[in-house]
Structure 1
C-alpha cells in the first residue's frame, strides 16, 4: 500500500524536477537544430504560398495525420504488454484500494472529463477574444474549440484502429483521453497566455512544469480510479504531447510568430563569369 502513495508523490515530484531540466538544457538545443530550421523553411514556404491562415490549417491537418500515423503502431505495441504489464498493475491496485483515497482520486480525475473541459474551453475562448479584441481575436476563438474537436476525433480514430479493449471496471481505452484533453486544453491556454502577456522565461518554465504535473497526476488518478490500463495512460501522454505540439505550431503560424529560417552556412556563393 505504501508503494501506491509513493507513486502518487512521484507523479508530482518527477515532472516538477524533470521539466525545468529539459526546458533549460534540451529545448534550446532543439530550437537551434537542423530539424527545427528545416521546419521553419517548410512553414515559410507554406505561408508564402497559402498565407498564415492556410498554412496554419495545413499544419493542423497534416500534423494531426502524422500523430495518428505515429500513435497507431505505438498502440499496437503497447497492446502486447497488456498481459505482462497492465493486468498485474491493475490487480495490484485493485487489491489495495482504500475508500478515502479512491474518493480523492475519483474527484481529481474528473478534471480530464469532456464536460468540465468544455466549459474551460468556452470561458477561456471568450476571455481571450476580449483581451485580443485589438489584434487577431479570431485566433483564440478558433484555436480553443479546434483543440477540443481535434483531440476528440483523433483519439476516436486511434481507439477504433487499435481496438485494444478496456479494463473490467470502466470503458477507458487507448489512448487515455483524459490525459490528452488536459494537455491540449490547458496547453493551448498557456500558449495563448504567453502570446498575450510578456511572460519571462522562468515564468514560462513554471507554467510548463505546472502543466506537466497536472497531466502526470491525471494519469495516476486514471489508473487508481481503474478507468484505464497503465499503457493507456502512457499512450495518452505521448499522444497528447505530440498533438499539443501540432496545435502550438498552428497557433504560432497563424499569429506570425514562427522565427524565419536561418541561411545555410554551407551554401557556397554562386560565381558569375562573363565572356567577352
Structure 2
C-alpha cells in the first residue's frame, strides 16, 4: 500500500522534472532540425496555395491519420502484452488499495471523463472569444474542435485494435481520459499563450502543468482499475502526439506558424536596388 503512495508522488514529480527538460532539450533541437525546417517549407507552400484556414484543416487531418497509423501497431503490441504485463499489474493493485486514497483517485479520475470536459471546452471557448475581437471565431472553432478531434481519433484506434477492457472497468485503448486532459487543458494553455504576451518560461510552465495533470490522470485510471497499464502508457504518448498536430494547426490558422517572413524596410529595399548599380560604376572608373 505504501508503494502505491510513492508511485503517486512520482506521477507528479517525474513530469514536473521531465517537462522542462524536454522543452529545453530535445524539444528545442527538434524545432530547429531539418525535419522541422522541411515541414515549415511545405506548410508555407500550402498556405500560399490554399490559404491558412484550409491549410490548417488539411494539416490536422493529415496529422490525425499519421497518429492512427503509428498507434495502430502499438495497440496490437499492447494487446499481446496483456497477460504478461496488464493482468499482473491489475492483481497487484487490487491487493494494495486503501479506501481513503481510493476515494481521492475516484474523484480525480473524473477529470478525464467526457461530460465535465464538454463543459470546460464550451466555457473556455466562450471566455477566450472576446479577447480576439474581430477574430473571435478562432478560439470558438479551435477550442471546441479539440474535443471531437480527440474523441473520434481515439474511437477509430479503439475500433481498429479492439482489445477489450479490464473486468473492473470499461477503459479502451488508448486511454481517452488522458488524451482528453491533454487536448482540453492543452488547448486552454495554448490560447493563454496566444492571447497574452508571455516568455518562454511561462510557456514551458503551462505545458508542464498539463503534463502533470495528464500523468496523474493515468495513475488514477490504474488505481481505480478503469484501464490496463498499457492503455495508460499508450495514452500518455498518444495524447501529446495528437495535441502537437492540433497546436501546429492552430498556429497555422492564427498566422503564427510558419512565421511570416518580415517585409523589407524602405531603406533596405533602396540599398538592395542600388547595390547592383554600384559595381559597374566602380569598374568603369577603374578602366
Q: Aligned with 2:42: secondary structure? A: helix
The equivalent residue for 2:56 is 56
Counterparts of 1:224 and 1:109 in 2: how far apart (Å)?
9
Q: Aligned with 2:51: secondary structure? A: helix
Correspondences of 1:1-276 after superposition (within 5 Å): 1-134=1-134, 136-260=135-259
Give the superposed CA RMSD. Answer: 1.2
Q: Indicate conservation of the 8 Å contact 2:86/2:229, yes or no.
A: yes
Q: Indicate conservation of the 8 Å contact 2:44/2:258, yes or no.
A: no
Structure 1 residue 145: deviation in Å? 1.5
Instruction: For CA contacts below 8 A with separation 6 or more, give which structure has more relative contact order.
Output: 1
The equivalent residue for 1:271 is none
The structure with the largest alpha-carbon Rg is 2
Counterparts of 1:261 and 1:76 in 2: how far apart (Å)?
42
Q: Indicate conservation of the 8 Å contact 1:147/1:247, yes or no.
A: yes
Structure 1 residue 260: deviation in Å? 4.6
Counterparts of 2:157 and 2:30 in 1: how far apart (Å)?
28
Q: Indicate conservation of the 8 Å contact 2:59/2:249, yes or no.
A: yes
Counterparts of 1:244 and 1:113 in 2: how far apart (Å)?
18
Structure 1 residue 259: deviation in Å? 3.3
Unaligned residue ranges in structure 1 (runs of 5+):
263-276
Q: Indicate conservation of the 8 Å contact 1:172/1:228, yes or no.
A: yes
Structure 1 residue 53: deviation in Å? 0.4
Q: Indicate conservation of the 8 Å contact 1:11/1:216, yes or no.
A: yes
Give per-residue Cα distances to partners, 1:194-236, cap 9 Å, x unaligned. Answer: 0100111111111111111100000000000110000001111
Counterparts of 1:166 and 1:59 in 2: how far apart (Å)?
32
Unaligned residue ranges in structure 2 (runs of 5+):
262-287
Q: Indicate conservation of the 8 Å contact 2:170/2:226, yes or no.
A: yes
Aligned length: 261
Structure 1 residue 60: deviation in Å? 1.1
Counterparts of 1:242 and 1:38 in 2: how far apart (Å)?
19
The equivalent residue for 2:281 is none
Query: Under a length normalisation based on structure 1, what TM-score does the superposition of the two structures give?
Result: 0.92
Larger helix percent: 2
